[in-house]
């Protein structure tokens, strides 16, 4: 995920100065989708390894985030409530990305996700470090 942010650093920085073009907006949407998929893949691996499997069913994506925010008998919580709320916004965007045409995307709805993705990644990484340290102590 750091490679994703690094690869698109120029585009991310330009968006801090000016609204993106239609083509840039489509690229940014792809970055957000990939970013969340990376987060979700890590959470799924934790669920499989420590919870006996990932959630299933229609709402499994949301259930995964909820489950990783809660304590379980086999592990401490992975995510803080604050980070969980942030990740839910990326999950919501993932749904939009997968079900909308790129020309329907709106910068006003994506802006905060794009501009905060590096901060959210750093928080996610930090909370994973805490989680794995607590897991080792248990």
Written as tens digits, the pLDDT of the chain (138 aa) is: 999 999 999 999 999 999 999 999 999 999 999 999 999 999 999 999 999 999 999 999 999 999 999 999 999 999 999 999 999 999 999 999 998 888 889 999 999 999 999 999 999 999 999 999 999 997
Instruction: Tell me how far apart the alpha carbons of residues 33 and 41 are, in angstroms, rounded to a whole number.
Output: 12
Q: Residue 132 has what pLDDT?
A: 97
Q: Residue 67 has what pLDDT?
A: 97
Q: Residue 100 has what pLDDT?
A: 85
Q: Residue 101 has what pLDDT?
A: 84
Q: Residue 102 has what pLDDT?
A: 84
Q: Residue 122 has what pLDDT?
A: 97
Cβ proximity of 43 and 78 under 8 Å: yes
Question: Three-state SS across the chain?
Answer: CHHHHHHCHHHHHHHHHCCCCHHHHHHHHHHHHHHHHHHHHHHHHHHHHHHCCCCCCCCHHHHHHHHHHCCECCECCCCCHHHHHHHHHHHHHHHHHHHCCHHHCCHHHHHHHHHHHHHHHHHHHHHHHHHHHHHHHC
């Amino acid at each position: 995920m750091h490679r994703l942010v690094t690869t698109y650093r120029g585009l991310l920085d330009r968006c801090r100065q000016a609204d993106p073009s239609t083509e840039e907006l489509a690229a940014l949407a792809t970055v957000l989708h990939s970013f969340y998929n990376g987060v979700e893949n890590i959470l799924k691996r934790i669920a499989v390894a420590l919870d006996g499997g990932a959630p299933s069913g229609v709402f499994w994506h949301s259930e995964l985030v909820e489950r990783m925010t809660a304590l379980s008998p086999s592990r401490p919580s992975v995510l803080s409530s604050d980070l969980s709320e942030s990740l839910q916004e990326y999950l919501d965007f993932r749904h939009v990305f997968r079900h909308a045409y790129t020309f329907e995307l709106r910068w006003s709805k994506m802006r905060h996700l794009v501009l905060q993705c590096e901060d959210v990644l750093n928080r996610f990484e930090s909370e994973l470090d805490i989680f794995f340290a607590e897991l080792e102590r248990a």
